[in-house]
Structure 1
Amino acid sequence: MFDLLSTPPLPRSTPDPSGAALPLLLIGHGSRDSEGRQAFLDLAQAYQALTPHRPVIPCFLELTEPSIAQGIQQCIAQGWQEVVALPLLLFGARHNKFDVTVELDRLQSLYPQLRIHYGGPLGIRVEILQLLRDRLSALLAAQPIKIPNSETVLLFVGRGSSDPEANAETCKLARLLWEGSGFRAVETCFIGITHPRLPMGLERALLWQPRRVIVLPYFLFTGVLVKKIMATLEEHHRLHPEMDWLALPELGIVDTVLQGLHQLEQEARQGQTQMNCHLCKFRLAVSQSAGAQHIHHPHDNATHRSHDHSHSHSHGHHNHSHPAAADPYAQLEDYHQRAWQVP
């Protein structure tokens, strides 16, 4: 069994935000894994306890309940006509830019009196980068066998997205983590959708002929995909017992994430959500379609007015949300053909 660093305990305090109280609709992706679902609900409960000035209402985009619609209905039932909607996602990609906004548009049409302030994803933060550095240092310090960093390869495993900009942000974070680390190399791979996939990432890591490989699954919570990554590592440990295999946990419920939520909530409430969108394929599709129907880009929601998007797309979800479905991106050439397409 390879060593796995335990997730740090829940922080005991975080700043209590000030200003006008608005309910927070905290939106998770959703998971069929009961542990993953509960981890999100636990985070929502922890954030509510640390910021008790207004209700935190957890809901999910898909795969499990409560749904976004049920969350909005709960707000309205409590008498609220204004809400902050915050998708708890690592990077801005299709779910953040399209799927959640389409559902909010649908609900906005049902409840025209409702005003929605939409927030952005966590993105790349100095605090997250430092958290990962600290975890790597703690993991290495705890090892009985001291192997130089120069003989260690870091394998950074992202979720994978059909949004090229989100995939580029994953690679950027991995590179920032590698700089100054002393590790021989960093390889970036993904568990699904885009490429290179995890098997190729492991193969590339082994090409460096390291004595140790550290695998970093970059996820917020455990779930089906994180467990799949760990099962794959167990298999590689059996195939290569001469090597030292280590792994970090998912981010989990830590002060760094809770502080990020606080900042995102305040930015959304004040109409100051910041997103890097100059390479967003949704924005590019709009700018390259002169005379076409305007597709409201979620990044344009700089003011805290209600959603009035005019999407020209249906409200269908990606096949990647359903593991049982055929993978339309399984072959590299298939992904390349679809990467810059909008829904």
Structure 2
Amino acid sequence: MTAPALVALAHGSRDPRSAATIKALVDEVRAMRPDLRIEPAFLELSKPSFHTTVDKLVRAGYDEIVVVPLLLTEAYHAKVDVPEAIANATARHEGLRVRATKVLGLESVFLEVLDRRLRAALKSARVRELDALVLAAAGSSDSLANQAVARLARLWGTKHRLPVVAAYASAAPPATGEAVRQFRAEGRRHIAVGSLFLAPGTLPDRAAELAVEAGAVAVSEPLGADPEVARTILARYAVGAVELVPV
């Protein structure tokens, strides 16, 4: 019996670095599970589209697909765009069974990835001392999604015994620059920013720009194609594949 195909479904971006990073992440997942059919797809702005990827898998003989949304929070894209894309795909292909897993999410293990990225940024900037951290995320009009980021920020602060505030690139305050300025108003001068984004793009760039303008000493790169992220994708897939098994 052929295992269900895995589609790693990202939002997409006009910035080509974003799609390149997602495809590199998918390559990392493939290296861990060469026995699985694993494909990238995007909701919009990047190629291949979800429909194109599904069509290719159906032509290859797959009638079961597990979709892992490469989203860090349960916001609009997870609640609306992903279900709509799957509904359209199953309507177009009779007999196709598709299961969406929960989103990639904000796993505590991602803090280890964040730390590695931040250490690299600190080394590049020759920074040896920190007295505050800002956790920069995309932001959402969904308050629960923002609260999830804030919880992870508190966990990050506890880990490093430093004050940490969550900041957002869109839809919610504070912006990264505002967060950095607030720390500086408290007398802190060694403030670094961790980029809680999956891939490079307009929002991460803007968050970094505002932070540096406000006086941040370093800004990390996004999580990217890290093995921990790849392992989380496979963990989501495993649950989704089980859910496709007839009871």
* TM-score normalised according to structure 1 size: 0.66
Once the two structures are superposed, residues 72-99 of structure 1 have per-residue CA deviations (whole angstroms, 9 ceiling, x without a partner) of 1111111111111111111221111211
Out of 189, 214, 226, the position equivalent to 1:236 is 214
Matches within 5 A, 1:1-343: 21-133=3-115, 135-136=117-118, 146-147=128-129, 149=130, 152-183=131-162, 185-237=163-215, 245-271=217-243
- Mapped to 1, the partners of 2:159 and 2:176 lie a distance apart of 25
- Per-residue CA deviations over 1:83-117 (Å, capped at 9, x if unaligned) read 11111111221111211101211221222310012
Q: Give the helix-richer structure, 1 or 2.
A: 2
Gap change, CA 1:142 and 1:202, over 3 Å in 2: closer
- Comparing 23-32 with 41-50, greater Cα deviation is found at 41-50
Q: What's the CA shift for 1:136?
A: 4.8
Structure 1 residues 144 and 58, CA, compared in 2 at 3 Å: closer, same or farther? Answer: closer
Contact in 2 for aligned 1:155/1:213 (Cα 8 Å): yes
Partners of 2:186 and 2:165 lie apart in 1 by: 10
- CA deviations 1:155-199 (Å, max 9, x no partner) are 11110112221111100000000014232x212110001222233
Unpaired stretches in structure 2, ≥5 consecutive residues: none
CA distance in 2, matches of 1:159, 1:126: 18
Deviation of 1:123 after TM superposition, in Å, equals 2.1
Question: Given the superposition, is the C-alpha separation of residues 180 and 231 from structure 1 closer, same or farther in structure 2, using an over 3 Å criterion?
Answer: closer
1:13-69 alpha-carbon deviations (Å, 9 max, x no partner): xxxxxx952111111110100111111112112322331112212110111221111
RMSD of aligned alpha carbons: 2.3
Distance 1:134 1:85 in 2: 28
TM-score by length of 2: 0.90
Aligned to 1:314: none
The alpha carbon displacement at 1:232 in A equals 2.5
Percent identity over paired residues:
25
Residues 28 and 89 in structure 1, CA contact (< 8 A), matched pair in contact too: yes
Q: Deviations over 1:190-249 (max 9, x none)?
A: 000122223322332222211201011210111111122233234334xxxxxx611221
Query: Letter of the aligned partner of 1:72 in structure 2?
Result: V
Secondary structure of the 1:179 match is: helix
Given residue 102 of structure 2, which amino acid in structure 1 is its aligned partner? G
Amino acid at match of 1:251: L
User: Which consecutive unaligned segments of at least 5 residues does structure 1 have?
Assistant: 1-18, 238-243, 272-302, 306-343
Matches of 2:239 and 2:210 in 1, distance apart? 39
Cα distance change, pair 218–144 in 1 and its aligned pair in 2 (3 A): closer
Larger Cα-atom Rg? 1
Q: 1:176 to 1:42 in 2, by over 3 A?
A: same
Quote the residue 1:324 is aligned against: none
